[in-house]
Amino acid sequence: MPIAIDRRRFFQSGALAAAGIAAAGRLPSQGGEPVAGRALLEAARQVPVVEEADVVVCGGGPAGVAAAIAAARTGAKTRLIEVNGCLGGVWTAGLLSWILDTGNKTGLMKEILARLKERGGLAVYGGDRGYDVEEMKILLEEICLQAGVLVRLHTRACSAARSGKRIEAVITESKSGREAFRGKVFIDATGDGDLAAQAGCGFDYGHPETGQAQPMSFIALLSGIEAEQVAPFVRELAEAKDWGSPKDNLRAEMQRAGVDPSYAKPTLFYIRPGLFCLMANHQYGVAGTNADELTAASLQGRAEVHRLVSALRATGGRWADLRIVATPEHIGVREGRRIHGRYTVSTEDLLAGTRHEDAVCEVRFPVDVHSTNPAETKGIADKKVRAKPYEIPYRALLARDVDGLLIAGRNISGDFIAHSSYRVTGNSVPMGEAGGIAAALAARSGRMPHELAWSEIREQRRAQAAAG
Ligand SMILES: Cc1cc2nc3c(=O)[nH]c(=O)nc-3n(C[C@H](O)[C@H](O)[C@H](O)COP(=O)(O)OP(=O)(O)OC[C@H]3O[C@@H](n4cnc5c(N)ncnc54)[C@H](O)[C@@H]3O)c2cc1C
């Protein structure tokens, strides 16, 4: 059955602007500026409904994959829609290679780590976990398929259809054209809150005073260096186990080679013999919701990484065989829209170590704001807020303005400072897991996610963790 798009809501959602059509309702930080006031009116068309699912998850990063697996394991017909050609988001398409804040996590996060270890794809350094990106890609596909998740890659969520306050379909664009996927419950795990914004949710973006989001980073996988020879530049290998000195050593080494990285704390991660990950790039003042800016950041990031690596190689010695083996499909975006939820995780929560009845996970990762102003510092902004361990409540995953919509991962409801702490992937996974279970329980019982009792979600989660 075709689905009719409500033109007024479509207009407000910003989707017209995304298509390059002048619209008063255009979202901040989105592209689509008309040239010299010109605009095209795209013809109205019928969009085929290609599926009726219980749960539709948009975005297949750490949060979205976890949400889809958990929903499918709870018995829901679950569709996962991902724009890249692999699952994993920043984990894989971004080449991250490092998982933070896993120490106190159970359930899916623990299962993913255990299964990575079985395949020889995991390196453990104290509380941190390094992993092989290709092992992560294939593992996430395997777990999703085993759980019965219906995976659609190469497909972008580009609009939403609502009935009253309730979201009823996501409209996608792909090689198959425009399609609609209906669902009983939706989860926005796009990192940037794309679906929620398209559905009409309010959101915050960037620093409350400047509107600037944290810089992006273009990561690279490197080979051709030996662990013992580069030990002074790698925290896991260096004698001094502090975070700072290996980064300062690496920066000095780059400067000696005649290059100065845009990230003043360049980091070399040791994944396994012969494989390292380099994070030495910062792209400042770029919005992840603007295609022109993303393009420029990607081109500049890739060029810089090649420049840094070539310069080190030219110095010979331990760097003589240094090579880039991969650059990311997608530049690493730290921060996008923070969708308004029924609870907003705040700086005060971090200071107080707030606990909740409906706790999805406990965050132990500190405040970590990469500088938004390179004129002040190109490193980490001053850490004025000392966070105590605190909890993320389920209510921060419930969209405030749209019913039937959950949010999971870095686009949940929180302030700028809180986001800089809870965004790491050891927290994205339990957020997705709880969201997926809640979505499935709601869909199966004909309720909205906000109508569930937390105890129902908690019991189902415990059962899945025990089985996994
Ligand atoms: C440079 C950098 C370094 C970091 N360092 C660490 C670290 O060392 N350890 C750590 O644990 N965390 C780290 N983080 C944080 C962490 O990677 C992210 O916060 C985390 O990936 C959030 O997971 P997510 O699933 O919410 O979002 P993402 O990983 O961003 O996943 C979102 C997914 O949605 C897809 N998507 C987006 N829009 C659409 C759409 N419209 N339709 C369909 N699909 C869509 C994307 O392709 C992607 O797969 C880092 C982040 C960056 C950028």
Convert the pLDDT of each residue in 375-389 to its tens digit.
999 999 877 899 999
Point out the domain boundary residue: 308, 326, 344. Answer: 326
Q: Which atom of ligand 1 is nearest to the CA of 157?
A: 42
Judge if pTM exceeds 0.85: yes
318's CB contacts (< 8 A; 6+ apart) are: 225, 226, 229, 230
Pairing mode, strands 323-326 and 219-223: antiparallel
214 within a domain of the structure (yes/no):
no
Q: Output the average pLDDT for the chain.
A: 91
Question: pLDDT by residue (tens digit) across 199-246?
Answer: 999 999 999 999 999 999 999 999 999 999 999 999 888 877 677 899
Point out the domain boundary residue: 326, 348, 378. Answer: 326
Listed range (32-41, 286-295, 344-353, 431-440) with the worst mean pLDDT: 32-41
pLDDT of residue 39: 87
How much of the chain, in percent, has pLDDT values that exceed 70? 92
Confidence band (pLDDT; 50, 70, 90) for 23?
very low
pLDDT, average across residues 321-348: 98
Check whether 61 has a pLDDT greater than 60.
yes
CA–CA separation, 377 vs 279, rounded Å? 17
436 within a domain of the structure (yes/no):
yes
| Cβ of 178 less than 6 Å from ligand 1 | no
Question: pLDDT by residue (tens digit) across 135-184?
Answer: 999 999 999 999 999 999 999 999 999 999 999 999 999 999 999 999 99
Q: Are residues 292 and 251 in the same domain?
A: yes
Q: Are residues 77 and 96 in the same domain?
A: yes
172's CB contacts (< 8 A; 6+ apart) are: 81, 152, 155, 156, 157, 158, 178, 179, 180, 181
Query: Which residue CA neighbors atom 51 of ligand 1 most closely?
Result: 334
pLDDT of residue 30: 54
Structural domain range at position 21: 1-45
Q: Are residues 293 and 384 in the same domain?
A: no
Gap from CA of 338 to ligand 1 centroid (Å): 13
pLDDT of residue 7: 31
Buried-state track 254-283, b at ≥16 Cβ within 10 A, e below 16: beebebebbbbbbbbbbbeeebbbbbbbbb
Q: Are residues 31 and 65 in the same domain?
A: no
Gap from CA of 59 to ligand 1 centroid (Å): 9
Q: Are residues 108 and 229 in the same domain?
A: no
352 within a domain of the structure (yes/no):
yes
Gap from CA of 62 to ligand 1 centroid (Å): 7
pLDDT of residue 365: 95
Task: Please state the domain count of the chain.
Answer: 3
pLDDT of residue 33: 65
Question: pLDDT by residue (tens digit) across 234-271?
Answer: 988 887 767 789 999 999 999 999 999 999 999 999 99
pLDDT of residue 100: 94
Q: Which atom of ligand 1 is nearest to the CA of 93?
A: 49
pLDDT of residue 239: 79
150 within a domain of the structure (yes/no):
yes
| Cβ of 159 less than 6 Å from ligand 1 | no
Q: Are residues 57 and 199 in the same domain?
A: yes
pLDDT of residue 79: 98
Q: Are residues 119 and 137 in the same domain?
A: yes
308's CB contacts (< 8 A; 6+ apart) are: 254, 259, 261, 266, 278, 280
405 within a domain of the structure (yes/no):
yes
How much of the chain, in percent, has pLDDT values that exceed 90? 85
Q: Are residues 61 and 158 in the same domain?
A: yes
Q: Are residues 200 and 238 in the same domain?
A: no
212 within a domain of the structure (yes/no):
no
Q: Are residues 184 and 322 in the same domain?
A: no
| Cβ of 283 less than 6 Å from ligand 1 | no
pLDDT of residue 384: 84
pLDDT, average across residues 446-463: 96
Point out the domain boundary residue: 305, 326, 347. Answer: 326
pLDDT of residue 11: 31
Gap from CA of 289 to ligand 1 centroid (Å): 13
Query: Which residue CA neighbors atom 31 of ligand 1 most closely?
Result: 61
Q: Are residues 22 and 125 in the same domain?
A: no
Check whether 299 has a pLDDT greater than 50.
yes
CA–CA separation, 64 vs 71, rounded Å? 10
Q: Are residues 146 and 15 in the same domain?
A: no
Q: What CATH number corresponds to the domain at position 117?
A: 3.50.50.60
213 within a domain of the structure (yes/no):
no
420 within a domain of the structure (yes/no):
yes
Check whether 125 has a pLDDT greater than 90.
no
Confidence band (pLDDT; 50, 70, 90) for 31?
low
Confidence band (pLDDT; 50, 70, 90) for 34?
low
